[in-house]
Structure 1
Amino acid sequence: MLIAHIISIIYNANMRSVGSIIKKLREEKGISRAWLARKADVSYDYLFKVEKEVIRKVSHEQLSKIVNALGLSLAQFEEIQKKYCTEENPPDVTNLSNVTPINKPLTSIPVYGKVPAGMPREAWHDYIWEYISIPDVSEKAFGLIVSGDSMIGEDIEEGDIVIIDPNAEVYNGDIVVAVIDGLEFTLKKFYRDKDHIILTPANEHYQPIVFSSESFSERVSIIGVMIGVYKRYKKRRRW
């Protein structure tokens, strides 16, 4: 069962806190922190601090919003939390037979090609590489294959497929696909202050791209907001 599988993951990773369990569930589902924060109607910074255990006491209301956004009820999450234990006392999942995972309909979306997660450069055209089926997306959503490592700090790796919603409103901290000067595409985090807009990588080896508010409106278009990441298992080489 799905719940038993999740508990096994939590046990094997030796999870100890609400935040670390939330992080593991989010990563298992292949969704970004920015997407989960938006879906749960909490700030990105708040979710970041919960997952990093900076905030250890999460209110019932906030926890309920986060776990519901993960596709679980609060009761299901509490069952997972109760069943976590140490290696000396492994979890017994036999009592979860009455817990039913929430099933959601899948939407088939096109994957168009590669988007640079590095230096901006010309990216995909209108060629559809494949279709993938995922839950909780609009029919306008589409996928792009990541090229580069500038977003590795957000667990976005070369070859991952980022799920883009072209109709989503952009907020500070969102990961966006931007096109610069009508030609160069890039995947970066979006930040706006009073006078500037910054496209920021999640890798210290890359520099942010800074625009004045005026030049940004003239030179940059936001194609869409990343709402999730689709990962495939990468088989390790055996020697």
Structure 2
Amino acid sequence: MAPQSDIDTETDSDFIARIARLVTRAGGQNALARATGLSLGAIQRYLKGGEPTRGALIRLATAGNVSLDWLVYGGMDEQSSPAHNPVPVYGFAECGLQGWYNPVRYKINATLDWPDPELYAVVASGLSMVPEGIHPGHICIISPNTRAHTGDAVLIRRNDGASTIKRLVREDDTWVHVQGWLDPEKENAPQIPYTDQIKRSVIEQLAPVIFIKRRA
């Protein structure tokens, strides 16, 4: 039986080879970075053995049109499943409170290979999450049945229907603490972070953003 370190090395090299295959298909590292919305540095880290986050794996698999199982574990079946879940898409309409919006249903669906039949998407609005890589017009895929973790971008929908996307800082039985960034005072000026707390009793849904896609 091979030593554990040898098995880990083989597994790492196989994973790197699959990332390299996605790079080749995309037309290079820069092209894959653009297709996934990841930085060039992130792609280069993965090619050197760095471990992608859950969100990065989803972006890589979606951009490469391969299944998550193949990307993570390898095997013969690399193509993503044809039985994609339809994902309803919503826009964000201003509702009079800064950073909060009312969802408006679009007459289109997206598709994504992800084991949550309740997936939906929103088109981001506003600048409060630009430092987290979410720009106005980006499509954010929301998974209500995936547990949110500290540091995740999350969609919070209140009982009155108003919604916002923020970074989850911490939560307890009574409060959910989130972070956003104020609009810059002038073009190219740094954005100042702020924190907010939302009473859990007014929250109808808190769900993580599992994938971010630039609109074509």
The answer to whether TM tops 0.5 is yes
Instruction: Measure, in 2, the Cα distance between the counterparts of 1:226 and 1:137.
Output: 14
Relative to total residues, which structure has the larger strand share, 1 or 2?
Answer: 2
Cα deviation for residue 51 of structure 1 reads 3.8
Residues 1-239 of structure 1 correspond to what in structure 2 (within 5 A)? 4-6=24-26, 8-10=27-29, 12=30, 24=33, 28-29=35-36, 51=42, 58=49, 70=61, 71=68, 73=71, 101-105=78-82, 106-114=84-92, 119-125=98-104, 127-180=105-158, 182-192=160-170, 197-201=176-180, 205-211=191-197, 216-233=199-216
Q: 1:193 to 1:166 in 2, by over 3 A?
A: closer
Instruction: Measure, in 1, the Cα distance between the counterparts of 2:103 and 2:55.
Output: 34
**How many pairs align?**
173
Q: 1:165 to 1:4 in 2, by over 3 A?
A: same
Instruction: Measure, in 2, the Cα distance between the counterparts of 1:159 and 1:66.
Output: 19
Instruction: Measure, in 2, the Cα distance between the counterparts of 1:74 and 1:131.
Output: 27
Instruction: Measure, in 2, the Cα distance between the counterparts of 1:4 and 1:135.
Output: 22
Superposed structure 1 runs of 4+ greater than 4 Å apart: 52-59, 65-70, 72-76, 193-196
Structure 1 vs Structure 2: percent identity of aligned residues? 17
Q: Secondary structure at the match of 2:98?
A: coil
Cα deviation for residue 73 of structure 1 reads 4.4
Instruction: Measure, in 2, the Cα distance between the counterparts of 1:180 and 1:158.
Output: 21
What's the Cα RMSD here?
4.3
Instruction: Measure, in 2, the Cα distance between the counterparts of 1:113 and 1:67.
Output: 24
**Would you say the 8 A contact 2:141–2:211 is kept in 1?**
yes
Gaps of 5+ in 2: 1-20, 62-67, 183-189
**Would you say the 8 A contact 1:111–1:132 is kept in 2?**
yes
Q: Secondary structure at the match of 1:129?
A: strand
Instruction: Measure, in 2, the Cα distance between the counterparts of 1:51 and 1:67.
Output: 9
Instruction: Measure, in 2, the Cα distance between the counterparts of 1:196 and 1:223.
Output: 12
**Would you say the 8 A contact 1:121–1:183 is kept in 2?**
no
**Would you say the 8 A contact 1:119–1:186 is kept in 2?**
no
Instruction: Measure, in 1, the Cα distance between the counterparts of 2:23 and 2:137.
Output: 28
Gaps of 5+ in 1: 14-20, 34-49, 77-98, 234-239
Q: Give the residue type in structure 2 aligned to 1:177.
A: L
